[in-house]
Amino acid sequence: MTAEPRSPAPQPASADATRPGERLADAVDARLPVLDGAGGLLRKAFPHHWSFFLGEIALYSLVVLVLTGVYLTFFFKPSMGQVIYDGSYVPLRGVPMSEAFDSTLSISFDIRGGLLIRQTHHWAALVFVAAIGLHLLRIFFTGAFRRPREANWVIGVTLFMLSLAEGFAGYSLPDDLLSGTGLRIAQGIMLSIPVVGTYVSMFAFGGQFPGEEIVPRLYSLHILLLPGALIALVTVHLILVVHLKHTQWRGPGRSNRNAVGKPFFPQFMASSGGLFFTAFGVLTLLGGLAQINPVWVYGPYRPDIASTGSQPDWYVGFLEGALRLVPPWETNVAGHTIMWNVLLPAIVLPGLLFLVLYLYPFAEQRLTGEWDQEHHLCDRPRERPVRTGLGAAGVTFYGVLLLAGGNDIVAATFRISINTLTWVLRIALVVAPILAFLIARRLCHGLLDAERERLEKGDETGEVRQTLEGGYESGHRPVDTFRPGAPSFPLTPGDGRTGTPSREHPEPARRNQ
């Protein structure tokens, strides 16, 4: 009897038979907790809405700033030592200037690609500050600063403040006539501090203005201390976003207990990566096509010269406007002169503005009784008329100050008296924010009333019917289309000052008191 041949038993696949990607993943995971540790992050859901891109634009602008800034450090000389210019820009040949200004001209005209990188760097700085400001406004108007995100709001406000300081430090480095005028104003602000102002100025400038130390010290702040603080705070901010989960708009299946959106990998990473390359490309196009800060037009800084029509970058324009609007108030106390016209607009006012921003989340939650509730759903601005009105008033206040920072340009362009314009802006600084608050609050109530009526009666069909009584009425159909965050049931009537979210949403926010 002969045995039938049997097929050999399948052998386990050898390590060589696996794909290279799998072998690499296994090798890395054997040494680092990549798959187990990052698995939760890769599957984490990120809600999707266009307004959420503002924070990402700020992040990617910071990346562009770091990349272009590293390139510029190879060629910039942070020194106020005097040299005679002998570069490619013929109109300034033979003119004495600082090494800082000389190296800036060299970057602009002699270094291959230098002007493109320098202008891209400047445009990225403007977009970075603007994106942070708009991101903060989005968080404010949607109530995303409430528990448990108060710490992230504080970090965001600090980032905004540091970005202003970082922008001013970089803007002042070329030592041109425009930035030198800004440093002269900064020195006047330092001198306005009672008692210690003179010492602060001498320490910052290393002696009498303009001194020899201000540019090297600003350079150290600009490339080391402030970027380090910004990157550290951005890292903490992102960690908190992941830990606390992203806020989302109300909608079917969305509540305070979940997050509905794209998984981090691969959908969110793909869309966010596309946004990064888009931001990088747009900033590069701006750097190559849109001229900004042409320092060779201004010339090197001289303490005895100030150019007319000098305008700072927009993010510090509100300080310039505040300085121009306050009357020349001074007080002599025990032989010391207190310059209220500089101290109040340049030190007290910014301090109060940032103090209000820091404290607002805690104050609102105390006043509304929401201190002990967690909020992961975004408010629509119309549902919080008081908060929206306060935000509109703040934006209007800032806008008036920004316009006042260019009152000389406005007066010259429209051929009006600068004194008359200054008084108009002084009055507007008080009246316009109040009007903005009242108008914004009224618009919110009007939108809520219109929305309530639409949900109760339905959308008009365009058909008109005659009733038995001889009158006419329009036909309606049930509402079947809703905007993000809009309720599908009528809102409850408010208390005259705010509205409450729809009853269909779990854990509705309480009304403002």
What is the Cα–Cα distance from 213 to 204, expressed in whole angstroms?
A: 7
Beta strands in 178-224 (DSSP E): none
pLDDT at 495: 42
Burial of 206 (0-12, 13-18, 19+ CB in 10 A): middle
Burial of 67 (0-12, 13-18, 19+ CB in 10 A): middle
Other CB atoms within 10 A of residue 340 CB: 16
Beta strands in 351-500 (DSSP E): 459-466, 472-477
What is the Cα–Cα distance from 51 to 70, expressed in whole angstroms?
A: 30
SS3 state at 241: helix
What is the Cα–Cα distance from 180 to 92, expressed in whole angstroms?
A: 18
Residues written for the chain: 513
One digit per residue, the tens of pLDDT, for the chain of length 513 reads 444 455 455 555 444 556 776 777 777 767 666 666 566 777 788 898 899 999 999 999 999 999 999 999 999 999 999 999 999 999 999 999 999 999 999 999 999 999 999 999 999 999 999 999 999 999 999 999 999 999 999 999 999 999 999 999 999 999 999 999 899 999 999 999 988 899 999 999 988 888 889 999 999 999 999 999 999 999 999 999 998 888 999 888 888 888 888 888 888 899 999 999 999 999 999 999 999 999 999 999 988 887 667 788 889 999 999 999 999 898 888 877 888 999 999 999 999 999 999 999 999 999 998 888 899 999 999 999 999 999 999 999 999 999 999 999 999 999 999 999 999 999 999 999 999 999 999 999 999 998 888 888 777 777 888 777 778 777 777 777 766 667 666 555 444 334 444 444 444 444 333
Distance of CA 510 to the CA centre of its chain: 29
Alpha helices in 245-290 (DSSP H): 269-289
pLDDT at 43: 78
C-alpha triplet 241, 247, 252: angle, nearest 5°? 145
Q: Which of 176, 185, 170 is nearest to 298 (CA)?
A: 176
pLDDT at 17: 53
What is the Cα–Cα distance from 138 to 135, expressed in whole angstroms?
A: 5
pLDDT at 38: 64
CATH superfamily of 47-251+258-301: Cytochrome Bc1 Complex; Chain C (1.20.810.10)
Name the token pair of 477. Answer: 């159909």
User: What are the residues facing 331 on neighbouring strands?
Assistant: 338
Beta strands in 304-394 (DSSP E): 330-333, 336-339
What is the Cα–Cα distance from 234 to 159, expressed in whole angstroms?
A: 8
What is the Cα–Cα distance from 344 to 328, expressed in whole angstroms?
A: 11
Tokens 């009333």 — which residue?
A: 449
What is the Cα–Cα distance from 28 to 39, expressed in whole angstroms?
A: 14
Q: Tell me the one-letter amino acid at 316.
A: V
Map out the domains of the chain as residue ranges. Answer: 47-251+258-301
Q: Tell me the one-letter amino acid at 286.
A: L
Q: Find out whether the peptide bond into 433 is cis, omega within 30 degrees of 0.
A: no
Whether 64 and 282 have beta carbons less than 8 Å apart is answered as no
- Of the chain, the end-to-end C-alpha distance in Å amounts to 98
Whether 94 and 83 have beta carbons less than 8 Å apart is answered as no
Tokens 């992102």 — which residue?
A: 238
Beta-strand relationship, 82-84 and 96-98: antiparallel
pTM assigned to the model: 0.85
pLDDT at 8: 52
What is the Cα–Cα distance from 43 to 345, expressed in whole angstroms?
A: 49
pLDDT at 465: 80
